[in-house]
Structure 1
Amino acid sequence: MADLLRVLLNVSEKAANVARVCRQEGPLFELLVQEKKGDDKNKKFVQDFKTLADVVIQEMIRHDVGAVFPELTEFIQGEESNKFENGLGESVTVTVCGREEETAALLATVLDGDQTAAALLARAIHQDLQLRDQAAEGLKQLPVNPADVGIWIDPIDGTSQYIEGKEEVVPDGGFCSSGLPCALVLIGAFLRSTGEPVMGVINQPFHHRDETGNGWKGQHFWGVSCGGFSACSVPWPKRPSPGRAVVSAVLSSSEKAVVKEALAPLCPGKCLMYASGAGYKILCVILGLADVYVLSEGSTYKWDSCAPHALLRALGGGIVDLSAPPARDKEKVEVWRGAELTYHKPNAGRRGADQWANQGGLVAYLDPEVLSVVMEGLAGKI
């Protein structure tokens, strides 16, 4: 399992590099965008796009992980269909081939014969990129067999921010409400028997400008929580003082007014914040930029939450179903923590993306006591 973590870190950096390559080629990027349709469309947005970058990244991760762990090949799932339609109306199934030249030829059919763009993407896909992480390399053995897990991939979470491409620079405080820094690569592993998230890697491809000021560099985070063992690249958070009344929460700007009103007394002043991207909002909780992320609708999916959920668990937090039943007195934390999201079973009677939606909404948290305060504040109001 320690080897799997190192593989996921490497493929996350390759994925981040592909995302940056696609952004750097303006004419290429215009060719990559196509509207999602039918069952794969996210109902939350009027327009919800997939890009070739999404598909290429997803299939690259599937290929690279499967090459090292063939027992996982059938259990690697992602947000995107790997079928892409080119300008001639031809449907192309995007896969990663054994040789760079073969992948380039396949991509050229998607890119309407643009050999230069296809070669650029193929080179990024096939490069041998190693992400060195001393702490991850120090993990020798973890109490889970890779053959027992499944993997969720969100190749580019925050696709709308990636497509729009506002080149916001992350401020000193670390919180960025919109723009490219909100676009993340998310790779999470879960136990196939229970759905428990056990490993997550988050890569932020557009964290800061490079030395030239024209390109971008990223940062990455990882966490493992399984069998009583926990490790995380993010330092263990400082716990708030007992009895603290003020909570900071991050929401979507489209969140229901009733939720904002219920949280307002708990989050006075500037403690109620808004940001784009489900993965990025959970990352804000992981990094201590917000105490909780609250979402009242079922507009996130297993690929959005699996990876960051694993990091939160490694730090003593988690993600619970907001529709969990009310609890009383001393039992409340245990009851709510018993409503943690799982990742192995589709929603009954649903099709397409909706079968993997987090239907009841969610609350992502680090501190169980803060979770109690927020759940009590929302009880009976949504």
Structure 2
Amino acid sequence: MYGSVPLIVRLLASSVSVANRAGKIVRDVMSKGELGIVEKGKDDYQTEADRSAQRCIVASLAAQYPNLKIIGEEDSLEDEGEVVSDWLVNEIDKEILKLQCPPNLQEVKEEDIVVWVDPLDGTSEYTQGALMLKRDPWERWKMYLTHPFISMKWYLSLLQNNYGFLEHVTVLIGIAVNETPVAGVIHQPYYKNIVEGDKKIGRTIWGLHGVGVGGFTPAPPPESIVITTTRSHSNPVVEEALKVMNASKVLRVGGAGYKVSILL
């Protein structure tokens, strides 16, 4: 149906639709309250939202583009059973299909492409947000006692921050052609905005080399230096570098995708 549209544009359009669905899965897992946290390694955790969102993304893109190489953040998911039909996305973003493909990308084949997937960037912030959604103080305290990420200091700070850091959570899809990154998608499941007078949750930002970006209104760059950096994994080297940069503002946030989004 869209065969006349260059592959890279179709893939980006599919990725936008798939990221939207993955974002809903992330919110659905949160609303159920059973995160299914497992430890992958030292200070490296995974939730049911990570696993489910990745299965949605990988299965959906593989069904549409069977010769793609897709690399997911969460490994060893192949043996976890069949993907539910509701997670298989066939839609394709029609606005993206209208993009004019750059000449150097018009003849790209599936075999030339690698898709990189981080189904839930900001797992720490996601689980902290889950803790704060526990309305019952006793339930919240019990979750804190078994929580792998939160110290008492963080717990007390979260109590003053409503829903924690859910806005830091993103779904990331990157597209590379012949080992060169050319396109990508950042979906923010908890971004709150108003569209045509209605409150909406979720936003998807995209970019294609040689075309530009979309899904948001770019802001003019500030006159002074603004730096985003890690909220939870700093060290003396990072702090010294920040001091040398002498920025007017340092934003300490979680998740690589969120760091990029707040600078756009």
Question: CA RMSD of the aligned region, Å?
Answer: 3.1
5+ long unaligned stretches in structure 2? 1-7, 134-163
Residue deviations 1:172-204 (CA, integer Å, cap 9, x gap): xxxxxx61111100000112x3x2111101100
Q: Map 1:18-167 to 2 at 5 A.
A: 18-26=25-33, 29-30=34-35, 32-36=36-40, 41=41, 43=42, 45=43, 48-72=44-68, 75-83=69-77, 93-97=79-83, 103=84, 123=86, 125-126=87-88, 130=91, 132=93, 134=95, 136-142=96-102, 143-144=104-105, 145-147=108-110, 148-165=112-129
| Shift of residue 131, structure 1, vs aligned partner | 7.0
- Label 1:181 to 1:240 Cα distance change in 2 as closer, same or farther (>3 A): closer
Q: Which has the higher contact order (CA 8 A, sep 6+)?
A: 2
Q: Which residue of 2 aligns with 1:172?
A: none
Name the one with the larger strand percent: 2
In the alignment, the residues of structure 2 paired with residue 50 and residue 209 of structure 1 have an alpha-carbon distance, to the nearest angstrom, of 28
User: What TM-score, normalized by structure 1, do the two folds share?
Assistant: 0.51
Q: Give, in angstroms, the shift of residue 15 of structure 1.
A: 0.3
Q: TM-score under structure 2 normalisation?
A: 0.71
The answer to whether the 8 A contact 1:55-1:81 is kept is: no
Identity of aligned residues (%): 28
Q: What CA deviation, in whole Å up to 9, does each residue of 1:32-85 have, x standing for no partner? A: 22221xxxx2x5x3xx2212221222122111111111111xx100011234xx
Higher Rg? 1
Where does residue 315 of structure 1 map in the other structure?
Answer: none
Change (3 A) 1:18 1:139: same
2:185 equivalent among 193, 201, 216: 201
CA distance in 2, matches of 1:237, 1:210: 17
Other-structure match for 2:175: 189
Q: Which of 249, 260, 271 is matched with 2:227 structurally? A: 249
Cα distance in 1 for residues equivalent to 2:93 and 2:125: 28
Task: Check the 8 A contact 1:33/1:50 in 2, yes or no.
Answer: yes
Aligned length: 218
CA distance in 2, matches of 1:17, 1:267: 39
Distance change in 2, residues 1:131/1:69 (3 Å): closer
SS at match of 2:75: coil
Q: What is aligned with 2:157?
A: none
2:192 aligned partner, one-letter code:
H
The 3 A distance-change label for structure 1 pair 146 and 283 is: farther
Aligned to 2:152: none
CA gap of 1:19–1:190, structure 2 versus 1, over 3 A, is same
Change in 2 beyond 3 A, CA 1:127/1:154 = closer
Which string of whole-angstrom CA distances, capped at 9 and with x for unpartnered residues, describes residues 323-358 of structure 1?
Answer: xxxxxxxxxxxxxxxxxxxxxxxxxxxxxxxxxxxx
Looking at structure 1, the residues matched to 192 and 228 of structure 2 have their Cα atoms a distance apart, in angstroms, of: 22
**Corresponding residue of 2:240:** 261
Structure 2 CA distance for aligned equivalents of residues 161 and 3 of structure 1 = 32
